[in-house]
Structure 1
Amino acid sequence: MTAYRKISLLMLVVFLLVYSVGGWFYTVQARADIERELVSVMELANSLPAPAQLAPELVREIRHLRPVAVGGQEVKLSDDVPAWFARLLAGDLHLPTTNGWQLAPSDEVDEIWESFVLISGAFLLGMLLCFAALGWAVRQGLRPLAELGQAMVAIEKGQLTSRLKRHELQEVNDLVSRFNSMAEALEQEQNTVRELMAELLQVQDREREHIARVLHDDLGQYVTGIRAQARAWLYDPDLNSEQKKQASELAQHCETVQKHFRHLLQDLHPLVMEQLGLGAAIRHLTERWQQLSRLNCDLKVDDGLPALTGEQQTHLYRFLQEALNNISRHAKATRVSLTVSRSNGALEVEVCDNGQGVGDHAGSKGLGVRSMRERARCLRGQMKLLSQPGEGTRVLLVMPEVNV
């Protein structure tokens, strides 16, 4: 039940209680007034001549007195007042007769009924005005709460720039000030976390690049030298067949190490991107992913991709790598498509699968999805993650106004 309905119900009960108590006091006072009036009229009847001695017009004009009814007929309390009200006021009153006259309180009952109707109408009008004022006051009072609720929903959705406007009421202003302070603190905290996250990603990528170069330039050369030396032993006439067999196995082991070594280097830092560009790196990434996941990926990459900085290329490469890895780990898909294209100066990246899907990605706390969102932010792009159970997942990244 809303606050307005609760307050309205409470006020209605109070109004009905006040009306009932007031009506009771009103009827008690009215009965007392009728009794006093009848006492005075009885004295008047004693001083008047019999009704037959007066003109009929004069008899009809005398208030609270009626000629004694022929045949002992009962005097009507009132013709214009509800019977229940007349009985309530004068139903049990003794109406004596004197000098041919009988007391008749109908005139007094009529006046009391008219006053009661006017008072009830005024009470009803006042009650309606009170409810109207209450509705206006409640709406005015609840408006800040509604604005606060909308702002809190915006905060929940991550829109930490939401602020409330100042209000006329000091109590509401205190609440507005506290909310705005909280939102500002959350925004600053989020900006700090984002800066730290972006710096962490950059440090991570630089460390990966450094480790890849050290492994390639140092360890890779040693493994290559060992392999070359092992192959040279195959042609050494001083070695017997067993030694040459061991040299051949050593060369094969070195070749296997180099193969896994190249995969490791590619994971640490895509050197092919430095040598052949972003498009070739994406194709190489897709080929390797297909080999490891044993899934087919329909790849479409535009030839004229925008020129990106090395840091932007790394972020985009890691974004796609994480998206594909999420598919192989969680999606249970049979078909995958990856599209990288230009549209109106913007770079659009789309990764789709026909897997099991997920109902709600917006609140996902997985490190992979969070890193994808952070890399999208570092690229100054917008990422959308659309998914429904049983309908697959669609990841869309749009980098607007990318200059060539």
Structure 2
Amino acid sequence: MMELSGLLMRRVMQVTAPCLALALLAALWQAQRNVQGEAEGAARAAELVSHLASLADGTPAAAATHLKALRRLNDSGELRHLQLRLADGEGRELVAPAALAAPASALARLPWWQPPSAAPLSRSWEIQLADGTRWHASLLWSPLGEQREALADIIGLLVVLLAFGAMVLAGIGWAVRRALAPLRDILGAIVAYERHDYRHRLPAMPTRELDIIARALDQLAGALERTEAAQRALSLRVLTLQEQERARLARELHDEFGQVLTAMRADTAYLMRKTRADPALAAVAQDLANHCERIQLEVRDLLHRLRPHGLLPGSGPVPLERMLRDLVQGWRDQPGLHAEFLLHLDLRAERLPDTLAVSLYRMTQEALTNTVRHAHASRVAVTLQSRADGEVLWMVEDDGIGIAAPVASDMAGQSDPDQHTGNGLCGIRERAWAHGGAFEIGAVRPGTVRPGLRIAVQFGQPHGAPAEREDATEAGRVW
């Protein structure tokens, strides 16, 4: 398997080789243009000499033709850095040199850009025509032509270098992206692991370094998956033991306190009959009977909270719907409470697992207790939906004062909402995590005076998958 450095070097070579070839082609094309320009300049210089030689032997009519041709050559600029000046015997210019524009004023001011001498170099001679007339000819060398060609070469070279650099940078960027493309899979796996989706596995990587990282991440994911499964199993076991302990305490309270309180109430009834003649003793007996009754009612309420509907582990299917109805009705019947309690049920699944059903009941019990104690709400809605595919949605909403800093946590319960709200939400979150549920908490109406609070748990979703659901407050039947 190739190393990452070798792969990058190979990719860079694959990119730079075509770029170098293109740059070489551009240089050859420019050299061909320069050679062609030199050849054309030499041909025009030879043509110039031919016309000058023909002036001496030609007739006046032919001289006019040669002068016209010489003017055309001068004005065309095809002589490159040479210019012809032709004057008659009286000094009148018959062929004037063309004015060449400076290539760049900034370059013209540079010391090394100046010509060797201030005046153009020239060579002069006389031409005697057939009629005896003498003309004066001069060939002038101007540095402006050379400067213009040099500037054109510099600009062309600069353009080639810029194009070559741009192509190389673009090619190297493409090569690096191609070489590091497997990192996207690695980053995707890390994001999945952050969502506690440890089932994600990476494919084989093209380079040795990335393949080592991928294999290490796969091993880490497997270890985390096994650890989390063990933690969930342990958490479920702890919850089961808690229910068993509650059942044991309820049984002992019923067996011990129930019989004693029944005997005490019988004794107080006997004392009340025997002390009718003494009002003071009768009042004491009546107070004792009232205390016994109140204690018996509190023990009965405690028994109901520890073991709702006489529920015992392994005693049969958990009547979750009936338990939730009785729980909500119990809060409705509480004296001094003016809140409206609603229960939305949509249980399409045939039967929920007993452990999950008990946890849903305990979560509802804890959520309603927290709402009544802290939210000061006028409306509380409990929602429970279960579908045939195993997905279950549990949610409690209120219109109370909310909490100072609502937070949301994933299935692993990594956040800590209970730093502001006590242990109630912690218990709900731990039960949700033990059953693989996605725990969410937030305001119902953010930004208002009474934002309310929504606590929701989605069971049955794949790890890390977002809960896509309908508005559960309008689904199902309301009781």
Scaled by the length of structure 2, the TM-score of the pair is 0.60
Letter in 2 for 1:298: L
Greater shift, 201-210 or 66-75, is seen at 66-75
Structure 2 distance, partners of 1:69, 1:322, is: 114
Kept after mapping to 2: 8 A contact 1:336/1:354: yes
Q: Distance in 1 between matches of 2:442 and 2:80?
A: 88
Q: Deviations over 1:99-118 (max 9, x none)?
A: 44333346644554454344
Could you say if the C-alpha distance between residues 108 and 202 of structure 1 is closer, same or farther in structure 2, counting changes exceeding 3 Å? same
1:134-172 per-residue CA deviation (whole Å, 9 max, x = no partner) reads 331343366455544444443333334344444323333
Post-superposition Cα deviations, 1:314-336, rounded to whole Å, max 9, x if no partner, equal: 22211211221232244332111
- Provide Cα deviations, 1:35-66, integer angstroms capped at 9, x if missing partner: xxxxxxxxxxxxxx9x9656667996977544
Cα separation, 2, equivalents of 1:152 and 1:386? 26
Segments of 5+ residues of structure 2 without an aligned counterpart are 1-48, 56-65, 125-137, 410-414, 461-479
Measure the CA separation in 1 of the matches of 2:282 and 2:80.
145
Q: Offset of 1:301 from its aligned partner?
A: 5.3
1:207: which partner in 2? 245
Amino acid at match of 1:327: T
- Supply the distance in 1 between the matched residues of 2:384 and 2:82 (Cα, whole angstroms): 106
Q: Partner amino acid for 1:361? A: A
| Structure 2 match to 1:393 | 453
Residues 97 and 103, structure 1, Cα contact 8 Å, conserved in 2: yes
**1:4-403 → structure 2 map (5 Å cutoff):** 65-68=82-85, 78=100, 82-84=103-105, 87=108, 91-94=114-117, 95-99=120-124, 100-105=138-143, 108-109=146-147, 111-140=149-178, 143-236=181-274, 242-272=280-310, 277-290=319-332, 291=334, 294=337, 295-300=339-344, 306-308=350-352, 310-340=354-384, 349-357=394-402, 359-362=406-409, 363-366=415-418, 367-376=423-432, 385=441, 387-388=443-444, 389=446, 390=448, 391-396=451-456
Q: Which has the larger radius of gyration?
A: 2
Question: Alignment partner of 1:217: what SS?
Answer: helix
2:294 match: secondary structure? helix
Moved more, 52-61 or 273-282: 52-61
Alpha-carbon contact 1:327-1:353 (below 8 Å) kept: yes
How far the C-alpha of 1:188 sits from its partner, in A, is: 3.0
| Alpha-carbon separation, structure 2, partners of 1:317 and 1:342 | 14
The residue number in structure 2 matching 1:29 is: none
Q: Distance in 1 between matches of 2:208 and 2:99?
A: 60
Q: 1:62 and 1:278 mapped to 2: Cα distance?
A: 106
Kept after mapping to 2: 8 A contact 1:361/1:387 = no
Whether the aligned pair in 2 keeps the contact of 1:78 and 1:107 (CA below 8 Å) is: yes
Q: State the secondary structure of the residue aligned to 1:97.
A: strand
8 A contact 1:315–1:378 mirrored in 2: no
59-68 or 201-210, which moves further after superposition? 59-68
In structure 2, what is the equivalent of residue 41 of structure 1? none
Superposed displacement of residue 210, structure 1? 0.8
Q: Aligned to 2:205, what secondary structure does the other structure show?
A: coil
C-alpha displacement of 1:271: 3.2
Q: Give SS of 1:93's match.
A: coil
Distance 1:310 1:273 in 2: 11
Change (3 A) 1:78 1:173: farther
Does the 8 A contact of 1:273 with 1:280 survive in 2? no
The alpha-carbon deviation at position 83 of structure 1 amounts to 3.8
Amino acid at match of 2:309: L
* Aligned-partner SS, 1:235: helix
Bigger shift: residues 279-288 or 387-396? 387-396
Report if aligned partners of 2:349, 2:387 keep a CA contact under 8 Å in 1. Answer: no
Which region of structure 1 is more displaced relative to structure 2, 236-245 or 201-210?
236-245
In 1, are the aligned partners of 2:85 and 2:96 still within 8 Å (CA)?
no
Distance in 1 between the 2:344 and 2:156 partners?
A: 85
Whole-angstrom distance in 1 between the partners of 2:442 and 2:276 = 68
Question: Over residues 250-286 of structure 1, what are the superposed CA-to-partner deviations in whole Å (9 max), with x where a residue is unaligned?
Answer: 2221111111111222222213557994333223322
Change (3 A) 1:243 1:62: closer
Tell me how far 1:249 sits from its aligned partner: 2.5
1-structure distance, mates of 2:240, 2:228: 18
Residue range with higher mean Cα deviation, 180-189 or 125-134: 180-189
Aligned-pair CA distance for 1:225: 1.4
Once the two structures are superposed, residues 215-238 of structure 1 have per-residue CA deviations (whole angstroms, 9 ceiling, x without a partner) of: 111222112112212212333489
- Report the Cα offset of residue 302 of structure 1: 7.2
Partner of 2:5: none
8 Å CA contact 2:123, 2:139 repeated in 1: yes
Is contact 1:78-1:109 (8 Å) kept?
A: no
RMSD over equivalenced CA pairs, Å: 4.4
Q: Distance in 2 between matches of 1:128 and 1:303?
A: 65
Q: Is the 8 A contact 1:77 1:105 kept in 2?
A: no
For residue 356 of structure 1, what is the amino acid of its counterpart?
A: I
Instruction: Give the aligned residue type for 1:202.
Output: T
- Point out which structure has higher relative CO (alpha carbons under 8 A, 6+ apart): 2
Structure-1 separation of matches of 2:266 and 2:302: 21
Q: C-alpha separation between the residues in 2 aligned to 1:342 and 1:187?
A: 26
Letter in 2 for 1:96: L
- The answer on whether the counterparts of 2:103 and 2:147 sit within 8 Å (CA) in structure 1 is no
